[in-house]
Every structure is written in structure tokens, then in C-alpha cells.
Structure 1
Amino acid sequence: MTQRGVVHNLLGLAFQDEGRTRRAAKSYLRALIRAREMGNVRNQAVSIANLGHLTLKSCMRQSARGYLLQAVRLYSELQASMETDMELIQVLLWLGQALVSEHQLVHSRLCYEMALMFGLRHQHLHSQLQVTKSLCHFYSSVCPNPDACITYHEHWLALAQQLRDREMEGRLLESLGQLYRNLNTSRSLRRSLTCIKESLRIFVELGERDKVAEAWLGAGRLHYLMHEDELVELYLQAAIQTALGSEEPSLALKLYEEAGDVFFNGTRHRHRAVEYYRTGAVPLARRMKALRTELRIFNKLTELQISLEGYDKALEFATLAARLSLLTGDHKQELVAFHRLATVYFSLNMYEMAEDCYLKTLSLCPPWLQSPKEALYYAKVYYRLGRLTFYQLKAAVIVLHEQVWRCHL
């Protein structure tokens, strides 16, 4: 009878994998009936847990929670062993998912942490790995908590090191570097740099050239944030040279743009972005016919020159961006490009050209308002057009006064 119950559970799993939900449910129920007839508590727990997982995948949240809670209670009646605790870990993970879907975050966290406790009790690395992944996801996406997220990523890293999985270790160091960087304190930035440099060594060892290039760039970005300017260019150039050596133009283009972004998004030496954008990224984008990338870079160059009050250069870049935007066939891209061009013309006191560009942007807007942001944009553009009209009238009055004065002479 016990064997028949096991067979029904296995059949249920097979049907579930094939997406035959009803057949799977019937098999699990038959397995449960057999287990109850035999008084086999463990098989009852397994059958009910399988039913819970099936209903969870079918989005029947309340039923799933009920089944899984019942399975946990049955496991608690059993004598503890490594085998049953490993099964209980899986049930707790499913229960955690069910509780998350019902927004019971405190209870779901408790399930995940209990599951990890059982994995730690038996020093079972693979179960700890499974649970730690769930906890990292929980604290990064479900219930964001940067400190807890870092703690569990550090544990995940320790597990990868014990398993001697160098690829996993490298990617976790990369993730930890980003998490520490987001904290943006002097101490966290230093720790982030350590993680990135350790990941760099691993990626070099594994021969992952794209990851090596990104690690060089990440280190350069961190040196910039830490005001260690003498090292920034060194690391950025190493990133670009690595990317160029990979014979993957798309990687080199990405790295040139991101190297420029280090300065563009910063507060110091912003003019240095021009070299990476104009002499590095733009030629590659043209060679690859990456129209949207080229447009995005010219938009950045325009914005940069406006902020630096280099309006003549800004006009050059804004004009190129406007021409490129017409080729994309994307009205939103056209609107952005022509708005920037209008801003440059306005700053250069070229009011007629500015007016033409602002009117062009309005023609690209939808005929009816779709959001408060659009209403605000309309208001700003019409306000600017009103100022342009005022300046033109003022200029006309001045000219008229000059003509009248000359007539009197």
C-alpha cells in the first residue's frame, strides 16, 4: 500500500510537469488516501505538500496556503532527520511564495529564514543556496532592505566559495559591488571596489572578456566616486582596450558610452565625456549603423554642452540629433531632439529658429492630453513661445524707435 502511494505521487509529478493539472491533483489525492489508510504521516505530508505546490502554480493562493501549512504541521510531528528536513525546506519555500502572493511579508520572511535554519543545521550547501537565492530576491524586490540584501548576498558568496564555483563567485562579487555602491558611503564604496577588483581577477581567470571589460569600467567609476581622479582614466582606458580586443564592436560601443557616462552623470570634469562620446562612441555607432545609439549620444552631447554653456557646440550636436531623429520614425525621439534644438536656439537669441522648433515639438504631441505631465509640457512650451513673441515685439519696437529718431534727424 505504501508503494502504491509513492507511485501515485510520482504520477502526479509527471502529470504536473506535462501541465495536466486535474490528473496530477487526482494522483496526489489518491496518494494522500493511501497514506492515511496506512497511517504514514510522512507520505501524507509529501502528498499534501505536492497538492499545495500544484494549487500555488495554478494561482489558487488560499488553497495553496492551507495545504502547505497542513504539510508543515505534519512534518513537525515527524522525528527530525536530514531527509525530512530537506523536504520541509522545500515546503517552507513554497509556503513563503504563497504568503508573498497574499502580501503577508512578515510571515513569508519567517518561512524563508526557518528554511535557511534547517539548511544550516545540517550544513547542507545546496539547500542553503536555494533558500539564500529566495532571501536575496525577497530583500531586493519584494521587501527592499539593502542591509539584509547585502547580508544574504555575502552568505551566497560564501556558499559559492565552498562549492568552488568560480563563475557564480564572480557574478556574486559583481552584484555585491553594485549593492555596496548603492549605499554611497565612503566605507561602502571602498568595499564595492574590493568586490569589483576580486571579480575582475576571477573573470580574467575564466577568460570572460566582456565581464573583464565591465569590471575595469566599474572600478574606474568607483575611483571617480571616491575622488581618486588620477586612477579614473587608467581604468576606463583599460576597459575600452579590453573591449576593442574582443572584436565585438557592440561591446566596445557600450563601453565607450558608459565611460562617457561616468563624467556625464558626475559633478567633476564633465567635459571629459565629450572625448568618449564624440571620438569613441559616435564613429562606432555609425560603422554599426546603430541609429538610435548615435541619436542618444548626440542628445547627451547636446545636454552636456548646454550645461557647460558651450552653445555653439550644442547647436552642432542638437542639429545632428534632430536630423537623426527624423530617420527613426519615432515621434517621441523627434520631440526630444527638436525640443533640445529649440532650447539651444533660444539660448543663442535665435528666436525665429527657436519658435519654429517649438512649434515642431507641439505638432509631434498627441491631439489630446493623456497625462498631467503632457499638460505641464504644453504649458512650458506655450510660456516659452509667449516669451519669444514678447522678445520679437520688443525688438520690433526698438527698430521702430530708431527709425523715428533717424527721421527727426
Structure 2
Amino acid sequence: MASTFIESLPEQIGSLNSDALRAGAYQITYALDGNDTITAVTGGDYNVMVGGKGNDTYVAAYNSAITILDSGGHDRVIATGMGVNNPYTYFGTVDGSHLLAFDLISGQQVMIANWMSSSSRIEEVQLSDGIFSLSQILSFMSGSPNYLGNLSTSQLVNEGMLPAGTTSADLHNLITHFSLREAELTQLASTPVPPPQPVVPPVANVEGLDDAFYLASNPDVAASGVSADEHFSNHGWREGRNPNDWFDIAWYLQKNPDVAAADLNPLLHFQDHGWKEGRDSISWMDVDWYLQQNTDVAASGINPSAHYATFGWKEGRDSNAWMDTDWYLQQNPDVAAAGINPSAHYYNLGWAEGRSPSSAFDTGAYLNANPDVALVGINPLEHWIDFGQAEGRSIA
């Protein structure tokens, strides 16, 4: 029976204190009570997370499938490989009781069991484009073209998301089993003992971390009183929080699966090794091209992404072969007056506003010539660099 297979998976059992647990593939994690953080490993399927009564945080990983069953508290799911406005992220319900979300690019898949139940609901969902409440997710789903409606268990079996032979009754029995097993383990656990307070050396300043940017982008961290360096080092990079305006953690890990698999802090990897190996920090930065065009920067041994963001664009230097800094600022005096990094502006806002990055690339012409790109809402220059050139597409 399919449910027997999942019930027999190895168990990882937490304590009644607040635990930080790494959840692997083909495993059931019972965190029990306490304010727990359960983080999925990259590339893990059949990963069941049972948080218990506490303010729990569930962190999804790239190319992994997790099932969440919560039983109380104010809880958060972090899945930065998905977005409510991401054309590759899809949502649906299962058997009218469970929420399913998955992204075709990041490979993240999350199912929240009994998600509308007052005891099992997740209060906050952090995605790539913001933090959303339950009511906001409901509102988004009702009007989204990516809402798949109510799916049946058999449909998930056909798509390979559940073991062959799983029925709706099996799924219901599995969730009941997880709830009963959690109650049993909680009863068996000893009375929580206050953990010893270790002497933890202060976290050194993280090179490349912009404290002001990090705290402004993460008001929950600012409100907690924890330093930006400590939070980013211990939690932030695993949660997909970006350290500055020139490094995109989710993008870097997606482009560099070896770094993701090694579970390395991506910012430190980029600064120690990545840029020297020709890896880029963000979609708008071409490290190799920048160093070739700016031999003084190459000779100095300076991180090229940090140099461009701090000095380069102000000196009229370009971040890639298709981004003309001086031209963009001349064509867009509002951007120049605001003192904004022109590459970041174009990639984040400008292309969607019909602005072009240079005289060599016409945003509107490319989208008109390639309606499939326009339809999915992809940054046209990024599409041209990653795919369009190789596919022989026209830029006019």
C-alpha cells in the first residue's frame, strides 16, 4: 500500500525546545514543540515536515518536494524559488483540503496539509516577490492564470508527485498517522530543559554585506535587534535573503548547482572563488566581460560586481556588452536624477516600462519580434543573452 511506504520512512525527532533541523529526502521530521526551523536539503523528495505547536519556520530548497503538517502557532513557509508573479509558479488545492505549489524553473514543490484548518494553517508565506498572508494567497489564487483548481490525488499520482497506487483515502490516513505520531512523540519527550547558554564568539563583519540594505529589505530582522552580519551568516543566506543590491542568492544558486549542492554560503563563495572563476553574481553583471573591458579593475584584483555597483556605473562603465550606462542615463534623466544604478534599474523596472538598455538593443522591438517572450513576461535582454542569440532570434 502506498501509504505504508511513506509511514515506514526514517524519522528525525526534535525536542520540546526550539530546534534547527536539516530535513533530507525520504525522511519524516518531527520537530515537536518549540519555535523550530526545518530546512530542506537541495534535491530531496518525499520530505515530510511536522512542526508541532510553536512558531515554526519551514524552508524549501531548490529541486525538492516537501509536505508540511503544522499543529499550531504563528508559522512561516520560505520558498524563494517561487513567486506570485512568477510565470513558472503554479498553485492548486488537493482533494479540497491541501495547498500545492510548485515552480518549473527552481524545482521547488510545497504541499501544506489541511491548510485552511485553524490548527494547521500557515500564517505567512515568503516568496521571491514578498511576504504574503493567508488571505493574500487566497486572493491571488482566485484571479491567477496559474491557478490549477482543485486537483485529485490520482492526478498527483499520474504526475509522479505521489507514489503509484496512492488513493485519496491513503492521503487522509497518512496525515492522520503523522498527527497521531507527533502527539505520541510529544508525550514521550522529556520536560523541556533550558538549554545551556554557550559562549558564542561574535560574528565577524561579512565582506560584501550591506547592513543598511539588508535591514531595510528585512524589517523583521531589524525589529529583532540581531545584527545584519549575525543574521545573514546564521540564517539569511539559507532563507534566500540578498546581502546587497549586486548579489542575487537564488539566481546564483540556480546558475551554480555545485555551490547549492555543497551547501556553501553563496556570497562568500562568489567573493573567494566565484568571480575569479568567471561566475556572475546577478543577471545583469557579466564578470568576464567587465574585467576584459576594464583592465585597471582586473589588475587591482577587486571584486568586479562590487566595483561596478560602488564606482563603475558612476564612472560610465558598463556591466555587460548590451548595457550602455551613459546612454541609459542620457535617455532616462529621471533615473540619472535619482542616482540609481542603471543596470539594476533596467533589469528590475526599466524593461517592463519599455526602456531600452542601449542603442544596440531595442526592448520593444525584441518583444514585438518575439511574442512568445512577451507572453511569459521575461526580461527581454536577459532572454536574448541566455537563449535568443543561440536560437538566432532577431533583436529588431
State the TM-score, normalizing by the size of structure 1.
0.24
Structure with bigger helix share is 1
Structure with bigger strand share is 2
Larger Rg: 1
| Bigger relative contact order (CA 8 A; separation at least 6) | 2
